[in-house]
Structures are given as C-alpha cells and as structure tokens.
Amino acid sequence: MILTSAIDAIGNTPLIDLTRVCAALGVEGRILAKPDFLLPGFSKKDRAARAIIQAARESGVLQPGQPVVELTSGNMGTGLAIVCGILEHPFIAVMSRGNSVERARMMAALGAQVELVDQAPGGVPGQVSGADLALVEEATQRITRDRDAFRADQFGHPGNPAAHETGTGPELWQQSGGTIEVFADFVGSGGTLAGTARFLAPKGVRCYAVEPRGAEAIGGGDTRHPDHPIQGGGYGMADLVHLRDAPLSGTLTVSGDQARDHARLLARTEGLFAGYSSGANLAAAADLLRGPERGRTVGIVLCDSGLKYLSTDLWADAT
C-alpha cells in the first residue's frame, strides 16, 4: 500500500504482549501495549493533531493557509507540525523551557515556529508545573490573537478524545480479540483516556486515570508536591474538560522514580524505547495486577519515544 502522506500513517499501531516485563515484575495477569511512539511524530498526540485539524478544516473554522497555534509539551506540537506542514498551515508551537530540548528541536525541524516560555519562579528544568503551564497558556492566547490564528486547543477541542474513541479504543479491542479487561493511562489533556474509555467502558472494561504522586488532583489526593519529571501531564488540574462524565473506574498514582524505573525495564526486557509517561502507564498496570485487577488483561499506550528524553535523567546511568 502506498500512502499519500504521513498523515495517512497516523493510527493502527500494533499491540504487543509484554510477557517478559510481566515475568520480570512477577505480576499475575497480562499487559498489552500499543507503541504509539511508532507514529510519524513519535507520540500518541499525532492522532489528536490530525483529528483536530481535519475537523477544523471541514467545518470552515480553519481557513486555507491560516496559521495554527497551540501550547504543547512537545508531543502535540510535533503532531501538529507534521499535519500543518503537509496541509500548508503555518504552525506556532508554544512550550515551556522546562520541557526537554529534543522536543523543541524536532518541532523546528518539522517546520514549526517554536516559542519558548520561561518557567515560573523556582521552576526546575525537566519538571513542568501547573504554574509553568499557566504562563504558556497566557503566551498562547496572545500569539493566537496577534496572528489571527486557529487555536488547536488540545485541552478543550472535542477532536482530541474523538480521535481515541474512534481509533485507540477500537484498535485495542479488535487487536486483543476483545480480551482487554482494564485500561489505564497517564493524564495530560485527558483526551486519550476519555476517548478510549468511552469506547471500552460500555464493553465492561474498567478504565483508570494515572497521576503523579503529589499532584493527585483528579483523584482528590495530595497536591502539595506537584514537582515530578513526567513531562506532558500531571499538572495538578482537577477539572479537565475531556474527563467530565468520562466513564472511569478509579485513579492511581505513581512516583517519578517508578515511571523512570519501569521505562528502563521496558527498554531492557522488551526492546521498547519509550518515555516517562509510558513508564508511568506500565507502573500503574503492574500495580493494578498486584491489587484490584489481579489476573486480568490490562491495556496501556506507550505514549512517546525515549528519544525525546535523551537530555533528561531518564536514561542517565541507566542500568
């Protein structure tokens, strides 16, 4: 099959049985993972980027050649850079300096104009807080007005969860032969979890939100220590638009160390080189199999590539 562009290569990632990881962790059950880092932009956000831009073009909200602006930790921006570049829309990515430099360089290489926003006072490189995100949001609104641009709005646009309700969810169900019983996902904008849950929950699948320890806003837990290294989410935002009325069975928390250790384990045992949030998803799946979902089949998404974290401590002295 010959595709017309990289946009057509977004979706339909394989499903991999993590038997070696499960054996190494000594858990009872099964973990099935979708490596969405195999998508053109090396992350699951390609799905939402395509859906949002296509919907906006079809509705006429986004006019030919009109600029597109979005705040990003790097993954959504990479997906938008690809889609907008092919469809000939100038794209401006607005990102905190707290995110890894690889992300900014990749977006720029794909033709995006990258606007970096300084972190809030006391901010730590590699750890993007809710305060940092608020500064990025302020800059994004200003640039959108100044450029008369279309705001992709991954935190509010219905195309984000729709991409997973029609893509990720059905793929997990069909590829597993309907054996998925549990789904867990680290929450950034909430689009992946909400959309996937809307498809899977009616089939009896229990769906869980994953948050960093100390930034447990969705689960109503501790939010006093929001500093963590899991880029792309865990901003301590309790009221996420996409998660309103999402059919969730509960929430889990993982630490930055757990996410790091499980990402490294995934690379060593399965040859799957993924990032921090993927490690968080794996850690959460393992916790579920040790607890309330013992013996069941858990589906997760490997959200992005480990290549986006080479300048962080994720792979420093990895053993």
Residues serving a catalytic function are 45, 277
Report how far residue 225's alpha carbon sits from residue 114's, in angstroms, rounded to the nearest whole number. Answer: 29
SS3 state of residue 140: helix
Residue 110 — φ and ψ, nearest 5°? -85, 5
Q: Are strands 206-212 and 182-186 parallel, antiparallel or unpaired?
A: parallel
Sign of the torsion formed by the C-alpha atoms of 43, 213, 207 and 283: positive
**CB of 21 closer than 8 Å to CB of 260:** no
Half-sphere exposure of 47 (CA within 13 A, CB side): 28
Which residue pairs from 111-118 have beta carbons closer than 8 angstroms and sit at least 24 positions apart in sequence?
111/81, 111/84, 111/85, 112/77, 112/80, 112/81, 112/84, 112/85, 114/77, 115/139, 115/143
**For residues 107 and 102, what is the distance between their CA atoms, to the nearest angstrom?**
9
φ, ψ dihedrals at 92, nearest 5°: -115, 115
How many helices and strands, by DSSP H and E, does the chain display?
Answer: 10, 10
Question: Strands, E, within 26-101: which ranges?
Answer: 30-35, 68-71, 91-96
